[in-house]
A and B are shown apart, each in its own frame.
Chain A
Amino acid sequence: MKQFIVELINDRFMIAAVLLFGLGFMNLLLQKNLIKKIIGFNVMDSSIFLFLASQGYINGRIAPIITNGVFDAEVYINPIPSGLVLTGIVVSVSVTAFFLALTVRLYGIYKTVDFDEIMLLINKEAE
Chain B
Amino acid sequence: MNIETNFFKRLNDWVNGEADRLFPELHETDAPKPPEPVATIGPLPNKDVLFLTSYQAVALIVVIGMVSILLYTVYKLPLFGVADNPAVNEVVERYVEKGLEETGAVNVVAGMILDYRAFDTLGESSVLLLAITSVMMLLLKDEKNTDPDEELIEAHEAVIEDHNRDMILQTMTIILMPAIMLYGIYVILNGHLSPGGGFSGGAILGAGLILFASGFGHNRVKKFFNMKTFRTLTTIALLGYGVLKTYSFLLGANHLPTGIPLGTPGAIFSSGLIFVLDICVGLIVACTMYGFFSVFSRGEI
A59–B67 touching, CB < 8 Å = no
With A90-B124, A108-B150 as known contacts, state yes or no: A66 contacts B100, CB within 8 Å.
yes
B150–A21 touching, CB < 8 Å = no
Q: Identify B130's interface contact among A15, A94, A117, CB under 8 A.
A: A94
Stretch at the interface among B75-83, B177-185, B247-255: B75-83
B87–A56 touching, CB < 8 Å = yes
A80–B44 touching, CB < 8 Å = no
User: Is B168 positioned at the interface, with any CB of A under 8 Å from its CB?
Assistant: no
List A contacts of B295 (CB < 8 A).
Answer: 101
B127–A91 touching, CB < 8 Å = yes
Interface string of B96-113 (1 = CB under 8 A from A): 110110000011110011
User: Is B134 positioned at the interface, with any CB of A under 8 Å from its CB?
Assistant: yes
Stretch at the interface among B35-43, B218-226, B231-239: B35-43
Interface string of B63-104 (1 = CB under 8 A from A): 110110011001101011111000110011101110110000
Residue from A56, A79, A81, A105 whose CB has the most chain B CB atoms within 10 Å: A79
State A9–B5 Cα separation when bound (angstroms).
60
Stretch at the interface among B18-26, B52-60, B156-164: B52-60
A93–B81 touching, CB < 8 Å = no
List A contacts of B92 (CB < 8 A).
Answer: 73, 78-80
Which residues 93-109 of A have a CB within 8 angstroms of B?
A: 93-95, 97-98, 100-102, 104-105, 108
Residue from B48, B62, B87, B108 whose CB has the most chain A CB atoms within 10 Å: B108
A64–B107 touching, CB < 8 Å = yes
With A14-B77, A64-B107, A97-B135 as known contacts, state yes or no: A120 contacts B120, CB within 8 Å.
no
With A57-B81, A112-B40 as known contacts, state yes or no: A26 contacts B74, CB within 8 Å.
no
List A contacts of B106 (CB < 8 A).
Answer: 65-67
State A56–B293 Cα separation when bound (angstroms).
33
A19–B67 touching, CB < 8 Å = yes
User: Is B117 positioned at the interface, with any CB of A under 8 Å from its CB?
Assistant: yes
Main SS of the interface on chain B? helix
Q: How large is the interface on B (under 10, 10 to 19, 20 to 34, 35 or more residues)?
A: 35 or more
Number of A interface residues, CB 8 Å? 60
A64–B96 touching, CB < 8 Å = yes
B80–A13 touching, CB < 8 Å = yes
User: Is B290 positioned at the interface, with any CB of A under 8 Å from its CB?
Assistant: no
B88–A101 touching, CB < 8 Å = no
Interface string of B194-228 (1 = CB under 8 A from A): 11000100000000000000000000000000000
User: Is B172 positioned at the interface, with any CB of A under 8 Å from its CB?
Assistant: no
With A73-B96, A94-B127 as known contacts, state yes or no: A108 contacts B147, CB within 8 Å.
yes
B108–A79 touching, CB < 8 Å = yes
The chain B residue sitting closest to A100, CB to CB, is: B296
List B contacts of A101 (CB < 8 A).
Answer: 134-135, 138-139, 295-296
List B contacts of A111 (CB < 8 A).
Answer: 37-38, 40
B66–A25 touching, CB < 8 Å = yes
B80–A10 touching, CB < 8 Å = yes
Q: Identify B139's interface contact among A55, A66, A89, A105, CB under 8 A.
A: A105
Q: Identify B79's interface contact among A7, A74, A121, CB under 8 A.
A: A7
State A116–B135 Cα separation when bound (angstroms).
24
List A contacts of B266 (CB < 8 A).
Answer: 67
A65–B127 touching, CB < 8 Å = no
Sample 6 A-B pairs with CB under 8 A, ordered by A number.
Answer: A11-B79, A66-B96, A97-B292, A100-B296, A108-B147, A117-B40
Given contacts A59-B81, A76-B96, 17 further A-B contacts (CB under 8 A): A10-B79, A12-B80, A22-B63, A25-B66, A30-B60, A56-B87, A66-B106, A81-B87, A83-B120, A90-B199, A91-B127, A94-B130, A97-B135, A98-B135, A101-B295, A104-B296, A117-B41
- Write the residues of chain A forming the contact surface with B, with a CB cutoff of 8 angstroms: 7, 10-15, 18-19, 21-22, 25-26, 29-30, 54-59, 61, 63-67, 71-74, 76, 78-83, 86-87, 89-91, 93-95, 97-98, 100-102, 104-105, 108, 111-112, 116-117, 120-121
